[in-house]
Amino acid sequence: MNNKHPLAVVILAAGKGTRMKSSRAKVLHEVFYRPMLHHVLDAVAPLQAQKTIVIVGHQKALVEDSLESYEVICCEQREQNGTGHAVLCTRHLLADFSGTVMILCGDSPLLLPEHLQQMLQRHASKRASDSPLSILTTTLADPTNYGRIISDAQGAALRVVEEKDCSAEQRAIREINGGIYCAESGFLFDALDRVTTDNSQGEMYLTDIVSIAVQCGFRVQKYEHPHPEHVLGVNSKVELALAHREIQRRRNLELMAAGVTMLEPDSTAVAPPVTIGADCSLAGGVTIVGRTVIGHGCVIEPGVFISNSTIGNGVHIGANSVLLDSNVDDGVALAPLTSLGARI
C-alpha cells in the first residue's frame, strides 16, 4: 500500500505481561514458532511506513536482539508510566515527521494487513475535515478486562473508560477498545502533553487522547473491526495457545490451497519458513519446522517430526520418524521410526 500521506508506525512492546506468569517479556513469547511481536511487524509491513518504531522496556536487550532482521527503530521507555507515556517517549524520533501515526500493541499477533489498510483508508477519508484521530473498536460477548467505548448518538467515540475505572453501567457496554489508533502527528503530541495520571492506576493512559480530541472540538472516528478474535491481545498462556491454533489454521489453509493434502489439519503444523511442494500428503500429528524444503509428491505418515531438512520429490516417510538436519534423495522410502541426524 503506497500512502501519499506520510505514515509512521509505533508498536508498544515495553511491558512485562504479568498475567503470562513468566520471566520472559510478553512480546517474545512464541506464537506458531515466532515471537508474537514479529507477527505484528509482518502485519504492518505492507503499509510501507516511513518509520516503524518499537517501544522497548522490559528485557530491552533481548527484544532488540529479536528485531535484527527488521528495519525498525527501538525507543526505550525507561519507566513504566503507562501507554500514553510510552508513545510520548517517541517524540524526539518523530520531531521531523508530519503525517499519520498508527499506534499498535506488540501482543496482537492475529492482526491482518487488510484490516489495518482499511482503517488507514477510513481515517484518511476524514482527517482533512474534523477528525485527526481514529480508534479501532470491536464488540465482544464478554468485554471483561477491556476498555469500554463511550459513543455519542451518531456513533462517534467520546471517550474510553478502562475496566478498573468503569461504573456498573459502563461495564455492560460490549464495544471495546482494540488498542489501535491513527492520529495526526501534530494533534497526537499536543494531546499527550495534556494527559494526566488521574486514574486508578496512576498512569498516563493513551486512551485519554480520545476525550481530549472531543474536548478540542474534533470528531473521533471509529473503525469497527469485523473479526473480534483478530484484535484481542495475548495476555495469558491460554490466549497464547488460542493464537497459536489460529495462525496454524491460516497457514494450513494456505498450504492446502497450494495443493498440499492434509488428512488431519488440526493436528498438523508446518512452520512459516518451510516450503512444501504440491501433491504432498501429510497425515495427522506431523510437525515440520525450521528451514525445511520438501519436494512434490511426498507422503508423510502420522507422527513424523522434520526440522531443517531437505526432502526430495516422491519421498515416503514412515510413521513416527524423526529427521533433523538431514537430506533425503528423490524417491527414497523411509521405514517407520526412522531417525536421521539425531540420537534417540
Q: Can you give 34-101 as a three-state secondary structure string? A: EEHHHHHHHHHHHHCCCEEEEEEECEHHHHHHHCCCCCCEEEECCCCCCHHHHHHCCHHHHCCCCCEE
Question: Distance of CA 69 to CAs 38, 49, 72, 137, 228, Å?
Answer: 10, 17, 9, 31, 30
So what's the pLDDT on residue 128? 58
Please indicate, yes or no, whether residues 201 and 305 belong to a single structural domain of this protein.
Answer: no
CA 223 vs. chain centroid, Å, equals 17
- What pTM was computed for the model? 0.92
Please indicate, yes or no, whether residues 35 and 100 belong to a single structural domain of this protein.
Answer: yes
So what's the pLDDT on residue 342? 63
CATH classification at residue 284: 2.160.10.10
CATH classification at residue 187: 3.90.550.10
Please indicate, yes or no, whether residues 215 and 271 belong to a single structural domain of this protein.
Answer: no
CA distance 324 to 146: 43
Please indicate, yes or no, whether residues 301 and 223 belong to a single structural domain of this protein.
Answer: no
So what's the pLDDT on residue 47? 97
Identify the H or E element spanning 170.
Answer: helix 168-171
Domains in the chain, number? 2
Task: Enter the DSSP assignment of 265.
Answer: G
Q: Flag whether 276 is in a domain.
A: yes
State the cell numbers at 184: 495526526
Q: Flag whether 220 is in a domain.
A: yes
Domain end residue (candidates: 231, 266, 301): 231
Please indicate, yes or no, whether residues 287 and 322 belong to a single structural domain of this protein.
Answer: yes
Which positions are annotated as active-site residues? Answer: 19
| Sequential pLDDT tens for the chain (344 residues) | 445 789 999 999 998 888 888 989 999 999 999 999 999 999 999 999 999 999 999 999 999 999 999 999 999 999 889 999 999 999 999 999 999 999 999 999 999 999 999 999 999 987 656 789 999 999 999 998 899 999 998 888 999 998 888 999 999 999 999 999 999 999 999 999 999 988 878 889 999 999 999 999 999 999 999 999 999 889 899 999 999 999 999 999 999 999 999 999 999 999 999 999 999 999 999 999 999 999 999 999 999 999 999 999 999 999 999 999 999 999 999 999 999 996 54
Q: Flag whether 177 is in a domain.
A: yes
Q: Which residues contact 102 (CB under 8 A, 6 or more apart)?
A: 7, 8, 9, 10, 44, 47, 49, 116, 119, 120, 180, 181, 182
Residue 136 sits in which domain range?
7-231
Q: Flag whether 117 is in a domain.
A: yes
Q: Which residue do the cell numbers 533425503 mark?
A: 328
Please indicate, yes or no, whether residues 197 and 69 belong to a single structural domain of this protein.
Answer: yes
Count Cβ atoms below 10 Å from residue 34 Cβ, excluding itself.
16
Residues in the chain: 344
Q: Flag whether 269 is in a domain.
A: yes
Torsion of CA 276, 277, 281, 287, to 10 degrees: 0
Please indicate, yes or no, whether residues 299 and 155 belong to a single structural domain of this protein.
Answer: no
Q: Flag whether 85 is in a domain.
A: yes
Please indicate, yes or no, whether residues 159 and 294 belong to a single structural domain of this protein.
Answer: no
Q: Flag whether 246 is in a domain.
A: no
Please indicate, yes or no, whether residues 285 and 163 belong to a single structural domain of this protein.
Answer: no
Please indicate, yes or no, whether residues 26 and 140 belong to a single structural domain of this protein.
Answer: yes
Please indicate, yes or no, whether residues 225 and 274 belong to a single structural domain of this protein.
Answer: no
